[in-house]
């Protein structure tokens, strides 16, 4: 062991661009390194505060990705950092006792959630919250099936992946759980047909599909879904992992239609951008049916769920969201951005659609697949149909220091998901920069030509690592 050179914490903090890249290339996901290198998306960030990050050269970047919805209150909010300091001497893991911070957070969540939502289960991620919700639904109803929607995204564990909509993330792992049934998002008629046999434990749905491309269902959809689920005694699981905590202009997106789920899944910004936290919240009646007795109380548990540091970050994050009125800020800023972006649709051929609610906004682009294939002589055929969003993403980062990303299940949709307390000045800079990119690359010819050269330089190994073909 003495011959091995280990990297200590202080050394790890000080690793430069190349050293960090080499570690990831050699010891972690080399395909991801290749992928980010295709359009020069990798940076070595050394500082973060609010809506900004800084690289090792001192360049400032605006974060319009926001940790895929995990940074509603921004990077390193001082109130959350202060909370971490307050609990640093408390025991962090207390499995044989009851953590007062976990009890306090469960109490607070019961106060801010509507209806009869009362009991919380804390875990470490959104996927785990989904797993907990599905298990609770089956245990409490003694039914087998789970209905979910196409283009949905609920996580990448084998369980949550079984109820997610894109085949690309599923096909390598078949057979998955076989008691899930996929239906179109937004169709209440097909939902009702799916529930008529009264064998469905729960219908799991996102109020707005995030990774599906920021897809908003028809007006009144959730209200009708609630009625149908009640008619057939099917539980309604709402996945608010990305839409919750003020993101869409209300604390929870389902409040837009005045419905209440039977089971609610939260994560991402619940942890204040500091700690990984997931939560499942349900009614007393449903909980008691599944886990209420002494012999069943340990059926579903997790080691790190409800630990002190995680609970402190959540308690602080909730305070910040309410004290700073971040849901209202998201609503007002979202209207402002969408009004500006609407003008882009008729002005630029690249823009296919603009949609969203609050500060969960998608800009859908027309695909550059044909142009990229032609310029590259067909070399990037398997990749180009999923690459339009990445091209714009690279332009915004490399020319204007703006961080965005595309949605997982529709890579031609660029998401705008900044911290909710982002300034109007920063918003205007992003809008101006995006318009410059669109103006410079009308028709995608120049952008596709430039980007296809980068793709061509990539090896067949890189293409395989991204497409799986």
pLDDT score for 385? 58
Tell me the percentage of the chain whose pLDDT exceeds 70: 89
pLDDT score for 370? 55
Q: Give the pLDDT mean for 449-456.
A: 53
The rounded distance, in Å, linking the Cα atoms of 356 and 335 is: 9
Of 289, 262, 251, the residue nearest 116 (C-alpha): 262
Residue 399 above 90 pLDDT? yes
Residue 382 above 60 pLDDT? no
Mean pLDDT of the chain: 91
| Full-model pTM | 0.92
The rounded distance, in Å, linking the Cα atoms of 392 and 437 is: 7
Please give the backbone phi and psi of residue 119, each rounded to the nearest 5 degrees, phi first.
-100, 130
Residue 66 above 50 pLDDT? yes
Residue 388 above 90 pLDDT? no
Residue 2 pLDDT class (50, 70, 90 cuts): low
R_g of the chain, CA atoms, integer Å: 23
pLDDT score for 459? 39
pLDDT in tens, 233-258: 999 999 999 999 999 999 999 999 99
pLDDT in tens, 317-354: 999 999 999 999 999 999 999 999 999 998 998 999 99
Angle (deg, nearest 10), helices 424-440 and 326-347: 20
Q: Give the pLDDT mean for 153-167.
A: 94
pLDDT score for 455? 52
pLDDT score for 465? 40
The rounded distance, in Å, linking the Cα atoms of 386 and 404 is: 16
Q: Give the pLDDT mean for 127-150.
A: 98
- The Cβ of residue 322 has, within 10 Å, a number of other Cβ atoms equal to 14
Residue 463 above 50 pLDDT? no
Longest dimension (CA), the chain: 68
Residue 95 above 90 pLDDT? no
The rounded distance, in Å, linking the Cα atoms of 434 and 365 is: 12
Task: Find out whether 394 and 400 touch, Cβ atoms under 8 Å.
Answer: no
Reduced to 3 states (helix: H, G, I; strand: E, B; else coil), residue 462 is helix
- The 8-class DSSP code of residue 215 comes to B
Where do runs of H (alpha helix) occur along 147-187?
158-161
Question: Which residue ranges form the domains of the chain, and what is each CATH number?
Answer: 9-73+326-467 (3.90.1150.10), 78-323 (3.40.640.10)
Q: Which residues have CB under 8 Å from 3's CB, separation 6+? A: none
Residue 467 pLDDT class (50, 70, 90 cuts): very low
Q: Which residues have CB under 8 Å from 12's CB, separation 6+? A: none
Tell me the percentage of the chain whose pLDDT exceeds 90: 81
pLDDT score for 3? 73
């Amino acid at each position: 062991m003495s011959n091995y050179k280990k990297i200590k914490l202080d050394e790890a903090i000080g690793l430069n661009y190349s050293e960090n890249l080499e570690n990831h290339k050699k010891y972690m996901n080399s395909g991801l390194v290749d992928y980010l290198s295709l359009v020069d998306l990798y940076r070595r960030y050394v500082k973060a505060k609010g809506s900004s990050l800084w690289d090792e050269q001192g360049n400032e970047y605006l974060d319009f990705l926001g940790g895929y919805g995990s940074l509603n209150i921004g990077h390193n909010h001082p109130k959350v950092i202060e909370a971490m300091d307050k609990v640093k001497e408390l025991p962090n893991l207390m499995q044989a006792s009851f953590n007062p911070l976990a009890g306090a957070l469960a109490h607070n969540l019961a106060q801010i959630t509507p209806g009869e939502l009362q009991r919380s289960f804390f875990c470490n991620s959104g996927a785990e919250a989904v797993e907990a919700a599905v298990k609770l639904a089956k245990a409490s109803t003694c039914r087998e099936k789970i209905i979910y929607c196409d283009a949905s995204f609920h996580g990448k564990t084998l369980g949550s992946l079984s109820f997610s909509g894109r085949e690309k993330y599923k096909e390598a792992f078949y057979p998955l759980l076989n008691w899930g049934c996929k239906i179109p998002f937004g169709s209440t008629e097909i939902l009702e047909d799916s529930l008529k046999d009264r064998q469905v434990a729960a219908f799991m749905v996102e109020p707005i599909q995030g990774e599906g491309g920021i897809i908003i269902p028809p007006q009144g959809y959730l209200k009708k879904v609630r009625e149908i689920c009640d008619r057939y005694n099917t539980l309604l699981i709402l996945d608010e992992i990305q839409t919750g905590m003020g993101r869409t202009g209300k604390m929870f997106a389902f409040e837009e239609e005045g419905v209440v789920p039977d089971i609610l899944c939260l994560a991402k910004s619940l942890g204040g951008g500091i700690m990984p936290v997931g939560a499942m919240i349900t009614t007393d009646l449903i909980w008691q049916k599944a886990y209420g007795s002494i012999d069943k109380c340990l059926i579903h548990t997790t080691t790190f769920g409800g630990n002190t540091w995680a609970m402190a970050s959540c308690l602080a994050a909730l305070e910040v969201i309410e004290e700073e009125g971040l849901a209202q800020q998201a609503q007002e800023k979202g209207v402002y951005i969408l009004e500006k972006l609407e003008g882009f649709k008729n002005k630029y051929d690249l823009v296919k659609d603009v949609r969203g609610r609050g500060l969960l906004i998608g800009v859908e682009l027309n695909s550059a697949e044909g142009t990229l294939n032609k310029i590259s002589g067909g070399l990037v055929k398997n990749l180009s149909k999923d690459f339009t969003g990445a091209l714009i993403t690279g332009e915004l980062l490399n020319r204007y220091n703006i961080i965005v990303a595309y949605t997982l299940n529709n890579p031609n949709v660029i998401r705008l998901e900044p911290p909710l307390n982002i300034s109007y000045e920063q918003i205007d800079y992003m809008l101006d920069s995006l318009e410059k990119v669109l103006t410079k690359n009308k028709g995608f010819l120049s952008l596709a030509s430039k980007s296809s050269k980068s793709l061509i330089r990539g090896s067949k190994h890189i293409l395989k690592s991204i497409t799986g073909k």
